[in-house]
Structure 1
Amino acid sequence: MSKVSIYLPRVLAIVFRLLQLLSAVIVTGIAGHYCRTAGMYKITPEPRFVYTTVIASTSLVYAFFCLLFWRYTIIPADALLFVLNLAAFGCVVNWIGRMGCEKAWDVELHTQTWLSGKAKDQCGRWAAVETFTFVAAILFLASACMAGWKLWKQSKSETGKPEPWYRCL
């Protein structure tokens, strides 16, 4: 076994987890700010953004703990977070499509209050949520695929005893 095949998956696992953590922090911050500001104005926040905030927070905690214990990964959890982040991405894309951000920058809510600062910032912030939710989904898919590949490769190896399924990297 070469050093590249030993250390490359470990380095990639750390890079993937750091990027997952960064994406989750950005999505949690923007969507959480919206939910908090909407609550301050006695507006019920959109359920899609509550869902996106919960999924991003869950992704943040999972990526943080996997980063702390970077040899440990749970392939079903990575695959589940891929699906959940993809669903959150779909919710945000549906919302942005109805806002008309591609056509007009003067989106205003029914309370005459900008929930995310200046008028032109609103579409940019939701575009950032859309982008980083998709990036997080792809990174969780990459983590699951890499861990599955490493397990498959480990099962083909005849040297030594295979490690447990949760300790594959």
Structure 2
Amino acid sequence: MASPGLAVRDATTLDVPSITALHAHEADTGVSAYECLAPSEAEMAKRWQASVQQGFPYLVAELDGQFAGYAYASSYRAREGYRWTVEDTVYVLPAARGRGVGIALLRSLIDVCTRLGYRQMIAVIGDGTSTGSIALHERLGFLAAGVFPGMGWKHGRWLDNVQMLLPLGAGRGAPPDRA
């Protein structure tokens, strides 16, 4: 259930410090980010700017005017044939989990990507034990597409990589609107 005072908007330069801190927390303690060393604020600013310049949505959620999480879409793969497929990324502050932030961010991201003409969204979930992330994606219609066992090594163990898929718009049922 969404909390009162929950808003989703486009990220701005002013959000980069909060985005960096949340990403650092995930890189240091979690299995969502396969980075073992947290990137600097300058690096995160570069990533945000590159994403926006490429036309991908990059969103922030606020609870009562305070940063609560972020989400963005990126290219699934670099090859031209994949240009209609995006990968989603969603991070929510631990204190904001269970308050509708993740679903609001992901629903908004899906809506924007659909309007932009993308046809598939892929969730690449860092580990099979990430049941909250899996449940979030299932709630919005993502289907399991595969599990890659032992794809990454972090925190002294091998991590499975779960991939889920959501068709957008006409999905693969029709050619894209633009070439």
TM-score with structure 2 setting the length: 0.29
TM-score with structure 1 setting the length: 0.30
- Hey, which of these two has a bigger chunk of strand by percent? 2
Higher relative contact order (CA 8 A, sep 6+): 1
- Hey, which of these two has a bigger chunk of helix by percent? 1
Larger radius of gyration: 1
